[in-house]
Structure 1
Amino acid sequence: MRGLLRENSAETANAYLAWWNLAGVDGAVGEEPVNWLRPVPAPAAAPMAIPDQSPALPRLPSFDAFRLWLAEDAAQPERRWPGTIILPEGPVNAPLMVITDMPDPADIGAGALLSDRAGQLFDAMLRAIGLKRADVHLASLFLSRPPGGMVEASDLTAAAARISTHVMLAAPQRLLLLGDRTARTLLPEGARFFNHEGGTLPALATFHPRLLLGQPAAKAECWRLLQGLIEEMPK
Structure 2
Amino acid sequence: MGGRNSVLLAESYRDWWSLVGVDSLVGEAPAGWLDAPVANDVAAKPKSAPVAEPETPSLPAALQRREAPAEADAEGPVVFPDEWSAFQAWLAESAEVPGSQWDARRVLPQGQTEAPLMLLTAWPEVDDQRDGALFAGPAGPLLDAMLRAIGMTRGDCYLASLAVTRPPGGRCDDRDRGELDRLLWHHLGLAKPARLLLIGGDIVRMAANISLPDARGRLLDINQDGGKMEAVAVAHPAMLLARPAQKAAAWDSLKLFSQGR
Same fold at TM > 0.5: yes
Task: From the superposition, tell whether residues 105 and 83 of structure 1 become closer, same or farther in structure 2 (CA, over 3 Å).
Answer: farther
Task: Say which of 102, 108, 121 aligns to 1:87.
Answer: 108
Is 1:192 the counterpart of 2:225? The answer is no
* SS of the residue 1:84 aligns to: coil
**Distance (Å, rounded) in 2 between the aligned partners of 1:179 and 1:56:** 26
* SS of the residue 1:99 aligns to: strand
Question: Which one has the largest radius of gyration?
Answer: 2
Is 1:115 the counterpart of 2:143? The answer is no
> Conserved in 1, the CA contact under 8 Å of 2:80 and 2:186?
no
RMSD: 2.0
**Distance (Å, rounded) in 2 between the aligned partners of 1:102 and 1:53:** 25
Shift in Å at residue 210 of structure 1? 1.3
Is 1:58 the counterpart of 2:86? The answer is no
AA matched with 1:65 = A
**What residue number does 1:153 align with?**
174
Shift in Å at residue 138 of structure 1? 0.5
> Conserved in 2, the CA contact under 8 Å of 1:57 and 1:162?
no
Is 1:75 the counterpart of 2:96? The answer is yes
> Conserved in 2, the CA contact under 8 Å of 1:103 and 1:145?
yes
AA matched with 2:78 = A
> Conserved in 2, the CA contact under 8 Å of 1:54 and 1:158?
no
Shift in Å at residue 80 of structure 1? 2.4
% identity of equivalent residues: 39
> Conserved in 2, the CA contact under 8 Å of 1:53 and 1:154?
no
Shift in Å at residue 124 of structure 1? 0.7
> Conserved in 1, the CA contact under 8 Å of 2:90 and 2:97?
no
* SS of the residue 1:80 aligns to: coil
* SS of the residue 2:138 aligns to: helix
Q: Which has the higher contact order (CA 8 A, sep 6+)?
A: 1
Is 1:139 the counterpart of 2:167? The answer is no
> Conserved in 1, the CA contact under 8 Å of 2:101 and 2:165?
no
Structure showing the higher helix proportion among its residues: 1
- Structure 2 stretches of 5 or more lacking a match? 1-73
* SS of the residue 1:86 aligns to: coil
Shift in Å at residue 55 of structure 1? 4.1
CA displacement 1:74-97 (0-9 Å, x = unmatched): 222334222311111112211100
Shift in Å at residue 129 of structure 1? 0.5
**Distance (Å, rounded) in 2 between the aligned partners of 1:78 and 1:161:** 12
AA matched with 2:233 = A
CA displacement 1:205-233 (0-9 Å, x = unmatched): 11111111111111112112111121245
- Structure 1 stretches of 5 or more lacking a match? 1-51
AA matched with 2:157 = V
> Conserved in 2, the CA contact under 8 Å of 1:173 and 1:201?
yes
> Conserved in 2, the CA contact under 8 Å of 1:83 and 1:108?
no
